[in-house]
Structure 1
Amino acid sequence: MKKKSLLFIITLFLLTGCHMMTPEQTLTTFLNGLKKQNARMVYLSYGGKMFKKDIEEDIDVADDYLHGVDTTNLKKEALKKFLDFDFTINAVALHNNHAKIQVTITTYDSGKLLKDWLEDYQARVVVTRFSGAKRFEIKEKAIEKLTNDIAHLTQKDYQSTIYFTLTKKSSWKVDELSDEVKNALTGGLLETVERLND
């Protein structure tokens, strides 16, 4: 009798422990995985292509532009802020094997910070060039200031309501991230860069 009871309890535990996550649970796992830099959580919940290579290429382009200026601390500070977002799931719409989830992201206004920093940088270039400072020194000081500005961001005042899409195959997975989602997660950074490039 005891063996049957024990077998029943183990079976029940395995069945309840192995249930398929809902779309909301999958998205929550993905976003928490990003926040914690937990590759396993992200891998288990994300169905899109990993874009690490693209990010590395973007960083290489930025490093080329900066001509040897050390950006190690800048990258560390920026990553800390990008991963320190809050999120609220507002609504879920299901249709067959697809889900569309409305989420509000709250984070630091990196877009505004970049815009303000660039304006300050351009003004400094004019002033310091007349004082005889070398271009490398100007860039070095500018990166130091940007790193410091990012490190001292304290208020999460950028809020954006966006949609994540998920697809169910053997389990729910978050689809490839749209530019709208990437913009929200970076505090409006992509939008600012696009505007500045126009």
Structure 2
Amino acid sequence: MAYHHLALATKDMKATHDFYEGIMGFELVKVEVAPIQSGGWGKHFFYRMDGDDSKFIAFWELHDTETQDKHIHDLNKAANLPPLTNHYSFSVSSKEELSEWKEKWRKAGLRVFEIDHNWCHSIYTTDPNGNGVEFCLTTGTFDEADRERALAALDETEFKPSPPPALVKFWEPEPA
């Protein structure tokens, strides 16, 4: 089963639009404007991903809500978690595509964090709300030993680290 859309609130819809359509290449295709049950109203913007009319990322621009001045749009700050703990990840199909996204983000003035997890290779940045965005390429396969290790970890209470990443690197934005 696949998801239909991920919905998030945004503090600045125009900056969010510039990021998700202008940089990420997702197409704004629909808006729903409606009252919010607890009071106020919102605009719910839907961005189609990869031309697929069954997969979207959506953003709420809220107005006149009771706690509007107290909203925290960064998922990790709101949950009091370390940066990038909560994040959303999009798949790529090749190392070349991953590299293209890294360079596109850097050219857009974004800092990029790259990590080769030994079974997948990822790049991360943050959107205008401070939320972590990832592109990920699966580079390995899974066997019964991987499953057994994952099942054992469900009951572990001691730190038993995985092998260190093959690569960890921060990339600064390219100069304008």
Identify the structure with the greater helix proportion.
1
Identify the structure with the greater strand proportion.
2
For the pair shown, the structure with the greater C-alpha radius of gyration is 1
Q: Report the TM-score when normalising by structure 1.
A: 0.20
Q: Report the TM-score when normalising by structure 2.
A: 0.22
